[in-house]
Structure formats: structure tokens, C-alpha cells
Chains A and B, each alone.
Chain A
Amino acid sequence: MTTTSTATTLAHVDHVSRRFGSQLALDDVSLDIRSGEILGMLGPNGAGKSTLLSLLQGRRRPSSGTVELFGGRPTDARYRARLGSTPQETALPDTLRVGEVVDLVAAHFAERVPTAELSDEFGFADLLRRQCGALSGGQKRRIAVALAFVGRPSLVLLDEPTTGLDVDARHGLWAAIRRHRAAGTTVVVTSHYLEEIEALAERVVVIDRGRVIVDDTLDAVRSRVSSSIVTLRTSDADRVRELPGIVMSQPSEAGGRLELTISDSDEFVRVLVTSGLAFEGLTVRGSSLEETFLALTDTSSTIHSEGIRS
């Protein structure tokens, strides 16, 4: 991958680990966030996505390694002047009115989007006089995401921005995120929905158990993900696994069966038949995105690994 000369590194995470007591939330993570991209951060709940964002926001310090934001430590408030983010769990102060919260957050930035413009864009113009405690979850979510953009930031971190939104609201939010991306804002969006990352991101980082296990373009990840599951019984598992086109193999739970993740199942079946290897009970089915993603984040499965018993 080649970045153009205009792309700059907005944030730089270098061999960062973060512990909470005995629990290792991030394990030697290195990551650059470059200007002009939407970076999708994918991973199951508890994988370390939010911890990584909290380090970028300067809310927490790494246990080891360094985090740089706009060329400085994010724990120094000055380096957060061009960073926008959303409150976690969409918590807004219950007794403040929506307009007051928008103005309070906006007061931290040299340039701001006028409240009327922001509330029109994110669809809460009719809620400005309401106290935040009276809002529904979906309304809070839209306002929380809007707050990330109020200071015209260069880099926006969105943690699970559309959780709990209905389909219409979700698509509306995606459109807004894309508009800001087109206007030059760099966006990092975490999600445990593949669909969301597919809809938004150009680059995908998959985090699992505190480690970055994939960092690639969306197209590359998608091609890994759009695959088929072939299962068969064979007495010659070792040689079957050496056939081309296998992304991942694991012994099936059902005993004696081999389950293969295949990028091109038609081609694989042709190769399998012509190889003359013995097999029976062949089934082919398309793997769901969710399934392959789970396989990617499941360490019990073996990727191109030796030593599989048939």
C-alpha cells in the first residue's frame, strides 16, 4: 500500500500494552492513523477497542509503549485540540439541556459548528430545549456522535456509534460520517458489526484479545471474509490440507471431519477431485461474514497450522 505524499500521520501507537491489574487489555499494539481515511476497528466486545481509544484520547496512559497524537502526548490537553470523540455509553449530564451540552463541548474548540447547523445535520433540532435525562437511547446516541464533530476536528474517534439505532437512523449517521470524511476529516470507527465497517471503512483493523490480528484495506479483508466452508471426511487429512486455496482448516467437532475455509470453493473442488485423494461426505456452503470474522478472532481455530488431527 502506498500513501500519497499529502497523507500525514495523525496518531501513532507504538508497541503499546495496557494492563488493568492482572488483565492485559492491550498487548503490544502498534498502529498509525493517517489523514484522510476511515479506519474501521473491528473486534468482539472486550477485545480492547475502547481501551485503545481511551489511550488516544489521553484518558488513560499505556502501561508500556508510546501513544502520540498530533505529534505529542494525548494526556497533554493541547494535543487534543483537533480531536473529536463521543461520550461512552452515550452518557450526557441528565439535568443539562441538549443545547447547553452542545455549547459546553463547543466551548473547548477554536472553531465550532453552529448549534443549529449541527442539530439539523444529526437530526435533533427539535430536542435542543429538552433536558438530556428525558431523551431516548437513540436520541442520545445521535447527539453523542454529533458532539464529536462540533469542534471541526481533524480526527474523530467514534466508539460504537450506531449501537441501538434503528436502520434509518443508522444509515443517516453513516451518511453524515461519509460527508465529514469527504470534507477531509479522518475518522476511526469501532464496531462489532461487520456490516457497519463494510459500509464505512477503507481500512480495517481487527482487534482480538488485545492484539491487532488484521490491519489491511477493506477489499483485502473482504476477500478473506467472502469465502466458503467445505467439510469432508478423509483418511488423508495432511495432504488435503496442502491443497491450494485453503485459508484456514480445523478438525470439525463432529469427529473425523475436516472443516476448511476456502476462498474459491468451485476451484477447490476441481482440484480435490483431480488430486485423486480419498474423501467422502463433501459439503460446501458459503460462510457468513459473521462466521468468518468469528473464525478470525477465535484462537482455537488454526490458521495454516500444522498438527491437525483428522
Chain B
Amino acid sequence: MTPLIGVVVFPGSNCDRDAMEGVRALGGETTVLWHADASIKGADAVIVPGGFAHGDYLRPGAIARFSPVMSAVADFAAAGGPVVGICNGFQVLTEAGLLPGALQKNRGLKFLCRTVTLRVDSNDSVLTSGVEDGALLRIPINHFEGNYTCAPETLAALQAEERVVLRYVDNPNGSMDDIAGICSEGRNVVGLMPHPERACDPLLGSTDGMPLLQSFLAAASGAGVSSRPG
């Protein structure tokens, strides 16, 4: 069955088209989930894409979390549905409480767009199930607020439960414990700062994002990791 991926669009989202292009190139179908509609329209999985939802005004994700669509996404996630937040989407998921912690301004206080090396530290998640533990991936980052932080006890829990799914090999932004991506207790909600959709075509320089999106599509088809309702 061809999985249907819902891509959330807030005013100010700008990686929505790219996420849809990446999904379609891998054989998935896509549907737009408009921020003002409290529905995920029957999607098998949801992507909260990158960009600047509501201009990042106040704080990235701080306004977007109140959008009607987010209540539908939260219900879907609670029922075990696969959800991934990329970049601004990760920020929205932390603000919405679907993932712990927060993303602060980068160390160095500059926006950073460049390709980094990530290490897969857990392949038990909807985004990493198809990748070997320890695999190194070259994927671009593109953010000002990507410096992950959380309470010490939260970090301890993330580590103990192996919920840090991706780490930077050479930490570009000051993230705690080199964290680039984490997953929920149910392992069906993943947030990451790097952009896998930007690394899916040899013409663009890297295809290392493909196995991540493929894992996610497999999860959407029900063939991925065994998602426990969280």
C-alpha cells in the first residue's frame, strides 16, 4: 500500500514543498495539513516540516503549538502514529510537548547552513529503523536555534532509554550531548534539526537522507518498527 504522508503547513513554513518532494521521490503520497484544520485527513504519518512557522516570532514553535492541527497531530501521536518534526518542526514538537527539551540559539549566535556528519545512535525509531546503529550520514543543517537542551533528569532518561537517535560527530551548535535528533517514549515521534529531504539526490551532493525517509515511509505503511502507543 502506498503510504499517505500528511505535511503540516503553518503560515511561515517553507520546507513543506521539499518534504513532499522527498516523500514522493521515494514512492509516498502526500497531503497538505493546513494549520487551521484540526485534522490529519487520514494520513498514515505526519511530517512537521522546517521553516519559520508564524515567523518564529516570540520563540520558534511557541505560536504554532496552539494551531488546531496540532491537537490532531497530538492525538495521532498518542495513538502510536508516526510523526517526524524536521528543524522548525522539531522546535514545534518540543513546544507542543510531544518531545522533551527545547532548542536554544546556536553557540556562536549565528545562523548555520552547512552539511554535517551524523551518527545513528539508535535504530529503534520510526525514522532510523532502516539504518545500522553507528552508521555515519552526511546531511545538511539549516538553523539558528538548534542547540538542544533539557533538564538533567530528562537527559538521563533519554540516554537510558536510548532515545537519542542521532548525534553530531562534530557538534556545530552546542547541543547538549551532541544531540541532533531524539524520539518519544513510544519511539513513534522523532524530532531532528538536520534536513534529510535535502540529501536525497546525487545531483545535490548527498543521498544519505534517503534511508531515513525510507524508514519513515515503511513505518507509515505499517512495516516499520513496532510502534508502541505512547
A-B complex is real: no
Q: Which residues of A contact B (CB under 8 A)?
A: none
Q: Which residues of B contact A (CB under 8 A)?
A: none
